[in-house]
Amino acid sequence: MTTATMQVSQKDFEKAQEQLKLLKKDPGNETKLKLYALFKQATEGPCNSPKPGMLDFVKKAKWDAWNSLGNLSQDNARQKYTELVSSLISAESAGQTKDASPEESRHGGYETIIVTTKNNITKIMFNRPERKNAINHQMYREIIKALHEAGKDDSTIAVITGNGEYYTSGNDLNNFANVKPNEMEKMAKDGAVLLKEFVSSFIDFPKPLIAVVNGPAIGISVTLLGLCDIVYASDRATFHTPFSQLGQSPEGCSSYLFPKIMGLAKANEMLLFNKKLTAAQACAWGLVTEVFPDGTFQKEVWERLKAYASLPKNSLAVSKQLLRSMEKEKLHAVNSKECEVLKERWLSDECLNAIVSFFQRKSKL
């Protein structure tokens, strides 16, 4: 860089300091720390002062921010400081400071679900409302991918919810349709492999996972609630696991978790005898954390989640993993066993007759 450009840069830097004083809105602690660090780096160079004590929170946060800039040159620090101030000024004049209203970003590459991130929350939304959000093979795979990505992205928590009237009507029964007799075994085998991977992605999910049950939930979408950390439900939601009606058997680790959550007698009513629960019953039985009136459901829940997602991210992840670690091995064993049993069930006459009845519209839940 020439002396001339450095001088301009120094001039801009001084101007930026003046402009900063004119900001009307507080840019938030994170941004203020960034500005502090860049200013120190620009004016004094890399951080060489001794690290403050653990309990001197403010000094330590400032020191950490400055120290994190490592050997960034003073010119570059001046440049970054000036750019940051300029972006704050522009955002304010556009009526939106970055910290006050972050944009929702949509993740690409999905067709059956919508994945977005905003306010440190990654939301995975079932998106086949015209099929009551039934989960077809593509959706199983996309949810596995979305959970994998959400586990690694910058979000603090993840949310799973449905678009439209239903949360989801569970497994898409078309997954069993149009299978030739000589391909039945393969269909069952491949289905069990996919199901095992799908449920494993819930067992292993490393951050708090919250189910926002916006409407009726059926089958696998209900059993998976036992693997979520919090379940919020609209008072319009119902919870139905009609496995015996469909000639099938429980999955999603529900054969182990439901008796733990609600007691064996109540789990039997749901998992053996197809009892459909209202949201209030599901809450009383311990499957649902809290029920909200449908009219205010989205507003109340998202306000609450926004506050939860501003808690320290690493602390939440570590605590979630600690709680899950006590059961993880067991849950994987249960998942394997349930998939083995289901693989056999899918080949049974009881199951095949139930699917045929559904498509002939003789039976609906």
Ligand X SMILES: CCCCCC/C=C/C(=O)SCCNC(=O)CCNC(=O)[C@H](O)C(C)(C)COP(=O)(O)OP(=O)(O)OC[C@H]1O[C@@H](n2cnc3c(N)ncnc32)[C@H](O)[C@@H]1OP(=O)(O)O
Q: Which residues bind ligand X (CB under 6 A)?
A: 131-132, 134, 140, 169-175, 191, 194-195, 218-220, 246, 248, 251, 358, 364-365
What b-and-e string marks burial along 89-102, b requiring 16 or more CB atoms within 10 Å of the CB? eebbeeeebbbeee
- Smallest gap from Cβ 302 to ligand X, in A, equals 26
- Smallest gap from Cβ 130 to ligand X, in A, equals 7
Which backbone phi and psi does 243 adopt, to 5 degrees?
-65, -45
Tokens coding 80:
């970054």
- Smallest gap from Cβ 351 to ligand X, in A, equals 10
**Measured CA angle at 70 (ends 67, 73), to 5 deg:** 120
Tokens coding 189:
């085998």
Q: Which CB atom, from 170 or from 208, has the smaller least distance to ligand X?
A: 170
- Smallest gap from Cβ 149 to ligand X, in A, equals 21
- Smallest gap from Cβ 349 to ligand X, in A, equals 17
Give residues with Cβ within 8 angstroms of 198, minimum separation 6.
Answer: 140, 143, 144
Q: Which CB atom, from 66 or from 126, has the smaller least distance to ligand X?
A: 126
- Smallest gap from Cβ 128 to ligand X, in A, equals 8
Ramachandran area for residue 70 (φ above 0: left; ψ -120 to 50: alpha; else beta):
left
Q: Which CB atom, from 78 or from 132, has the smaller least distance to ligand X?
A: 132
Q: Which CB atom, from 146 or from 218, has the smaller least distance to ligand X?
A: 218
Q: Which CB atom, from 46 or from 247, has the smaller least distance to ligand X?
A: 247
Helix (H) or strand (E) holding 188: helix 184-203
Residue 284 CA to residue 307 CA, distance in Å, equals: 25
The alpha carbon torsion through 7, 13, 18, 19 (nearest 10 deg) reads: 120
Q: Which CB atom, from 195 or from 288, has the smaller least distance to ligand X?
A: 195
Query: Is-contact 58 119, C-beta < 8 A?
Result: no
Residue 160's DSSP bridge partners are 124, 211
Tokens coding 278:
């209202």
**Measured CA angle at 81 (ends 77, 86), to 5 deg:** 150
Q: Distances in Å between the alpha carbon of 225 and those of 108, 157, 222, 232, 282?
A: 26, 16, 5, 10, 11
| Residue number with the smallest Cβ distance to ligand X | 219
Give residues with Cβ within 8 angstroms of 81, minimum separation 6.
Answer: 13, 16, 35, 38, 39, 42
Residue 335 CA to residue 269 CA, distance in Å, equals: 21
Q: Report the chain's C-alpha Rg in angstroms.
A: 26
- Smallest gap from Cβ 33 to ligand X, in A, equals 47
Closest to 156 measured CA to CA, from 119, 125, 126, 124: 119
Q: Which CB atom, from 207 or from 343, has the smaller least distance to ligand X?
A: 343
- Smallest gap from Cβ 223 to ligand X, in A, equals 8
- Smallest gap from Cβ 204 to ligand X, in A, equals 18
Q: Which CB atom, from 76 or from 138, has the smaller least distance to ligand X?
A: 138
- Smallest gap from Cβ 155 to ligand X, in A, equals 27
Entry field: residues in the chain: 365
Helix (H, G, I), strand (E, B) or coil at 234: strand
